[in-house]
Amino acid sequence: MSPSGAPRPGGGAALMRPLNALVERYLPSALVFAVVLTAVVALLALLLTDAGPAEVLRGWGDGLSGLLAFTTQMALILMLGHALANTRPVRALLARLGSLPRTPRQAYVSVFLVAAAASLVTWGLGLVVGALLAREVAAQGRARGLRLHFPLLVAAGFSGFVVWHMGSSGSGPLTAATEGSFIATQLGRTVPVSATTFAPWNLLATVATIAAVAAALALAAPREGDPVREVEADLRDAGPRVEEVVVTPADRLDASRIVTSAVGLALAAWLALHFARGGSLTLDTVNWTFLALVCLLVRSPFELIALVKGAASTVGDILLQFPLYAGILGIMTTTGLIAVLSDAFVGLASPRTFGFLSLLSAGLVNFFVPSGGGQFAVQGPILLDAAARIGVAPEVAIMALAYGDQWTNMVQPFWALPLLAIAGLKVRDILAYTTVTLLASGLVFAATLLIVGAG
C-alpha cells in the first residue's frame, strides 16, 4: 500500500516502479530532447561520415523546412480530433457511455475500450476522449455509490492510445500511402494502407492487443476491500464556452448552422467522389473527413471557432518541434549517415528478426522522439533502407516502427500530459498502471512481428 493509502499494483507494474520513478524524475521536455538529439546526430555525422562541420550545418539548415506539409497534416489531425471530441453530440455520447458500467472492473475496462476505439479513429480524438470519459465515469459512478480508483480510470483512458498507430490516423502508414511524401519519394512508390493498417495480420494484432490490455487492466484493479482514491469532486465541465452575441446580420450568419453545414456537406460529397473513383486513404483524406464531421456536428461558426480555439493550444509542440526533426533528417540525408546507420542495422538483423529488432529500436527511440510523425521522419528512412537491403517488405518496417512508437508511449509522459491536465492528476499517479499496459501490449507486438518475420 502506498503512503497515501491508495493500492499499489503488483506483478509487472511493481517490477517496473524503479523505471517509472527514473522516467518521471529525469526525463526532460520533448523540446529539450529534440535539441539534444540534433546535437547527437550532428556529432555522429562528423564521426562516422566524411562530412565536415559546414556540410552538417548546411544539411541541418536546408532540412528545417523539409517537413512543413507533414507538420501541418500532423497539427490538423490533433486539432480536429480535439475539436471533434468536444462537440456536443460526442460529449452527450460520452455521458451516455459513462452511465453503463455497473461494477468497478466494468468501469476500468469500458473506459479503455472506448478510448482505444477513438484512438483507432484518430489519435487526437482518442487522447481527449480517454480523459473526458474517465471524468464522466468517475462522476456518475460516485453518484451511484461505486468505489472507483480514479488514477486507474485515467490510466485506462490513456492506455487506449497504445493502439493509435494501428488505426486510420497512423502517421507512418498514412505517410507511406501519401503521394509525394518523403517515404514515397525514398521508396519510389506509395505503400497502400491495405498492406499496413488494413493488412489481416495488423487487424488481428489490433484485436489481440485490445483484448490483452483489457484483461491486464481488469487484473490490476483494486480488489474488494482495498483502499481506493476516489475522485474528490465532479471534474466535468460544459465544454468550450461559445460566445454568441447576435446584433448584426453578419452575427446572425455566424450563429447559423448554414455555413458550417454547407462546408461539411461539400467535404462529405468530395470524399464520397474521391473514394468512389478509387482514391486511397491518406493523411489529407483523414483530415478532411474529420473536418467534415466537425462542421456537420457543430451548430454554428461561433461554436466551430470556440472549438478550434480550445484545440489550438494542443498543437504548439508539433509546430515547434517538427522543424527540428526535419533538420535531423536533413543531416542524415546530406551526410550519408542514413546509410551508415542502416549498415549497422543490417549487420544485426535477419529477415526473421528484422521486425522484432525494429520494434525494440523504435520503442527506445520513442523516448527521445515522442511524436510518432517526428519519429517516422527520423527513424523511418533508416529502417526502410535496411529492410530493402535485407529483403524485408517495407510494410513490415513501417508497422514495426509504428508498434514501437505506440508501445513505449505508455511510460513516456509526453502524450499523457494533456490527458493528465484534463483529469487533474500527475504522471506518478498513473505510471504504474500504464506499465501494465506496456507489458501486455509488448507481448502481442513482439509475437506478431516474429510470426510475420517467420512467414
Give the DSSP letter string of 414-429: TTHHHHHHHHT--HHH
Give the pLDDT mean for 33-42. 86
Residue 115 confidence (pLDDT) above 90: yes
What is the C-alpha R_g of the chain? 22
Burial class (CB in 10 A: 0-12, 13-18, 19+), 398: buried
Backbone angles phi, psi at 165, to 5 degrees: -75, -5
Alpha helices in 162-257 (DSSP H): 171-177, 182-187, 200-220, 249-254
Residue 397 confidence (pLDDT) above 50: yes
Cα(414)–Cα(147) distance, rounded to whole angstroms?
29
Burial class (CB in 10 A: 0-12, 13-18, 19+), 136: buried
Residue 41 confidence (pLDDT) above 80: yes
pLDDT digit string, tens, across residues 240-288: 666 666 667 777 877 889 999 999 999 999 999 999 998 877 878 888 9
Helices vs. strands in the chain: H and E counts, helices first? 22, 0
Give the pLDDT mean for 56-69. 89
Cα 331 to Cα 43, 55, 264, 295, 407, distances in angstroms = 10, 8, 41, 41, 27
pLDDT band at 4 (very low <50, low <70, confident <90, very high): very low
* Cell numbers for 81: 480530433
Residue 370 confidence (pLDDT) above 60: yes
- Decide: 158 and 116 in contact? Cβ < 8 Å: no
Give the pLDDT mean for 33-37. 81
- Decide: 421 and 195 in contact? Cβ < 8 Å: no
pLDDT digit string, tens, across residues 74-96: 788 878 888 888 898 988 888 89
Q: How many CB atoms lie within 10 A of CB 225?
A: 6
Give the pLDDT mean for 393-412. 92
Cα(183)–Cα(137) distance, rounded to whole angstroms?
41
- Between 209 and 231, residue with greater pLDDT: 209
Helix (H, G, I), strand (E, B) or coil at 285: helix
The DSSP call for residue 65 is T
State the chain's maximal CA–CA distance in angstroms.
71
- Decide: 179 and 450 in contact? Cβ < 8 Å: no
Q: In this predicted structure, which of 103-107, 238-242, 300-304, 356-360 has the lowest mean pLDDT?
A: 238-242
pLDDT band at 417 (very low <50, low <70, confident <90, very high): low
Cα(156)–Cα(18) distance, rounded to whole angstroms?
21
* Cell numbers for 278: 478509387
Residue 147: CB partners within 8 Å, gap ≥ 6? Answer: 104, 228, 230
pLDDT band at 339 (very low <50, low <70, confident <90, very high): confident
Give the pLDDT mean for 9-21. 51
Cα(234)–Cα(200) distance, rounded to whole angstroms?
42
pLDDT recorded at residue 240: 62
The residue ranges of every structural domain in the chain are 12-454
pLDDT digit string, tens, across residues 313-330: 777 777 888 888 888 888
Calculate what percentage of the chain has a pLDDT beyond 90: 38
- Decide: 256 and 300 in contact? Cβ < 8 Å: yes
For the chain, the distance separating the N- and C-terminal CA atoms, rounded to the nearest angstrom, is 46
pLDDT band at 441 (very low <50, low <70, confident <90, very high): very high
Q: Tell me the one-letter amino acid at 173.
A: P
pLDDT recorded at residue 5: 45
Residue 314: CB partners within 8 Å, gap ≥ 6? Answer: 78, 79, 82, 124, 418
CA 94 to chain centre: 20
- Decide: 255 and 302 in contact? Cβ < 8 Å: yes
